[in-house]
Structure 1
Amino acid sequence: MEQARPRWHAGSDDDQHFAREPRAKLQQSAGAGHATDGQPGERGGVHVLIADDHDLLRDSLAAFLNSDGEFRVSEAADLGSALRMARAGGRFDLVLLDYSMPGMNGFDGLGAMLAASPGTPVAVMSGALNPMLGERALERGAAGFIPKTLAARELVAAIRTMIGGARFTPDPEWKPERAPVEPGVALSRREEQVLGLLNGGLTNREIAERLGLQEVTAKLHVKNLCRKLDARNRTHAVLIGQQLGLI
């Protein structure tokens, strides 16, 4: 399933999609406000940590926010790096976490960041507008749910909303509802555990070690998951699981 592309780009109007510019050019456009180690940049008063494993998307968003003059941005490419920055004393006004980046393991990463940076609002970003996923993020303590298709002006408004202490959802009329589960999709407790670990990017061997199973047993659980979810492969199974609210 193809996800809509982000609409953030430094210097663009609200209706443009971000351009596929070389990373070096995007970093240059970020200017003095760019920071990668959790320390403030020279520009802006609002310190935002963006944690996302997609370099182009992360750099585009950082460049856009830095160009505003109100923000300074730090970046991380995975949850572990973001947590180290927070635990090392990085002071952020807001943290933006990509739901699907390495280390997140569903919403476990959200909980870890909330614990590492108490009092700091933490929002979850996703490549798709999934109301059910947004509902679960808010239930787990997120300050907001940010679709990556959000227009630039709305993104800035969302950041201000969350820093101000309110929670953000994409639309005032947005009413999260449980996604209908396809008939016949009933996972066992063990299969739910395996699906969660697949979402964290673990291999069959790593899943087996984590759950105390034989590798062949873990492989069988993955095969059963793909069959029950009508998934082409393990990656497709994770995507379907996210859409159905199973992880």
Structure 2
Amino acid sequence: MDNVISVIIIDDHPLVLNGFEFILNRNANILLKKTFTRAKDAVDFLETEQIDVVLMDINMPDMNGIDATEIIRKSYPDTRIIAISNLNEGSIASRMMQAGAAGYLLKNVSAEELIDAIQAVYQGEQVLSKEMSDVLSDKQDTVPKITEREREVLALMAKGYTTPKIGELMFISPLTVESHRRNLLQKFRVSNSVSLIHKATEMKFI
């Protein structure tokens, strides 16, 4: 490959950053521009630097990787994102891919697999580690598909608002709120609001 691929890493674990830095700095086709421990700092950096590929952790202190991916993809659609995580859960991987990530790798990835993944997403491909590919093939239907209205109701429920108050805030009737709530319970396959909020939080919908 003739083009040099510019990369940044977002991860709040020093050992992970050091390990990935070592791998990337040994490859002549990859230029590691900077590393970040906070997602917001990386987003701010992208305002001044055009970056080809972002390696993105999921759990960070200031912003989760799903939200950060959505922000970056919306503002910088040419920047490709690979999730790098210890979480081998199909629901999380699916959410990352839905947010716009081009790949999902586990942190035990080999140096060769990491380099190949960066080059692949740079060329417009999607990549998954073998473990995640197996998990996703087993759990393709486990991630609920919810509407924007349902997402708003879910967020307000998580804040503890009552049905009448949610209706007031969203300018809809309490009956409509209840309809959205029932749909959410069905889609998340739970029987009550407490379980709904718990599961939605685990799956990074909240």
What band does the TM-score fall into relative to the shorter chain? Answer: 0.5 to 0.7
Q: 1:241 to 1:71 in 2, by over 3 A?
A: same
Q: Which runs of 5+ in 1 are unaligned?
A: 1-43, 181-187, 195-226, 230-236
Name which of 138, 157, 165 aligns with 2:124.
Answer: 165
Structure 1 residue 191: deviation in Å? 7.8
Following superposition of structure 1 onto structure 2, how do residues 11-26 of structure 1 map, counting pairs within 5 Å?
none
| Aligned counterpart, 1:70 | 29
Q: 1:228 to 1:84 in 2, by over 3 A?
A: same
Structure 1 residue 137: deviation in Å? 1.3
**Preserved CA contact (<8 Å) 2:52 2:78:** no
Could you list the per-position Cα deviations for residues 193-222 of structure 1 after superposition, in whole angstroms to 9, with x for gaps in the alignment?
45xxxxxxxxxxxxxxxxxxxxxxxxxxxx
Could you list the per-position Cα deviations for residues 81-140 of structure 1 after superposition, in whole angstroms to 9, with x for gaps in the alignment?
10111012x121101111101232462211111133231111222112222211221122
**Preserved CA contact (<8 Å) 2:17 2:35:** yes
Check if 1:93 corresponds to 2:58.
Answer: no
| Aligned counterpart, 1:3 | none
Q: 1:46 to 1:106 in 2, by over 3 A?
A: closer
Moved over 6 A (4+): none
Measured on the aligned residues, the alpha-carbon RMSD in Å equals 3.4
Q: Counterpart of 2:71 in 1: which secondary structure?
A: helix
Following the alignment from structure 1 to structure 2, what is the Cα–Cα distance between the partners of residues 114 and 103?
18
| Aligned counterpart, 1:127 | 86
Q: 1:119 to 1:189 in 2, by over 3 A?
A: same
Q: Which runs of 5+ in 2 are unaligned?
A: 144-152, 160-193
Name which of 22, 43, 60 aligns with 1:83.
Answer: 43
Letter in 2 for 1:162: V
Following the alignment from structure 1 to structure 2, what is the Cα–Cα distance between the partners of residues 62 and 112?
24
Q: Relative to total residues, which structure has the larger helix share, 1 or 2?
A: 2
Instruction: Give TM-score, length-normalised by structure 2.
Output: 0.64
**Preserved CA contact (<8 Å) 2:58 2:84:** yes
Following the alignment from structure 1 to structure 2, what is the Cα–Cα distance between the partners of residues 76 and 57?
11
Q: 1:106 to 1:75 in 2, by over 3 A?
A: closer
Q: State the identity %.
A: 23
**Preserved CA contact (<8 Å) 1:87 1:116:** no
